[in-house]
Amino acid sequence: MEISNFNIVLVCPQIPNNTGNVGRLCVGSQSKLHLVHPLGFEITDTRVKRAGLDYWPDLDLMHHASFEKLLGCIPDLSRVFFFSAQATQSYYDLDYRSGDWLVFGRESDGLPLEILKAYASQCVKIPFPGKVRSFNLGNAVAMALGEGLRQLEL
């Protein structure tokens, strides 16, 4: 079985275009996309596939009925990193490894507080000096993947 560079997890995404864009990023980075339900759209939505363009058939995609079901698929929970604007540690401080799990929350409110509390030492943020609360989901995933690929020297 081929190992993905990264496992990208979207917890309950709401906007189909963002998910399609992240799917395209996953194909381009040879990473696996994990979608934790419920989703705010149907995966057959043309907006998902339009954002993923003709790459969607090449996407390594896995669906999870809940966050708890996702956790059951992760062999090493110490290699899971949760992205949140509320975190104090920068994602630049991570020592990325092939197969790491990068977890992102919903567009409107991020990851649930109970997840952030349970995994506080594994929460990271993307630092930014400007007057925004957070980045667009697709942009945040692209930034995280870019840093990870840089560290893996790919």
Q: Is 100 helix (H, G, I), strand (E, B) or coil?
A: strand
For residue 1, what pLDDT is reported? 42
Domains along the chain with CATH numbers? 6-152 (3.40.1280.10)
User: What is the percent of the chain where pLDDT is above 70?
Assistant: 93
- Three-state secondary-structure class, residue 124: strand
| Count of Cβ atoms closer than 10 Å to residue 20 Cβ | 25
Alpha-carbon distance 115 to 118, whole Å? Answer: 5
Say which residue the tokens 């007057």 belong to.
131
100-150 pLDDT tens trace: 999 999 999 999 999 999 999 999 999 988 887 778 999 999 999 999 999
- pTM value is 0.93
Helix (H) or strand (E) holding 50: helix 46-52
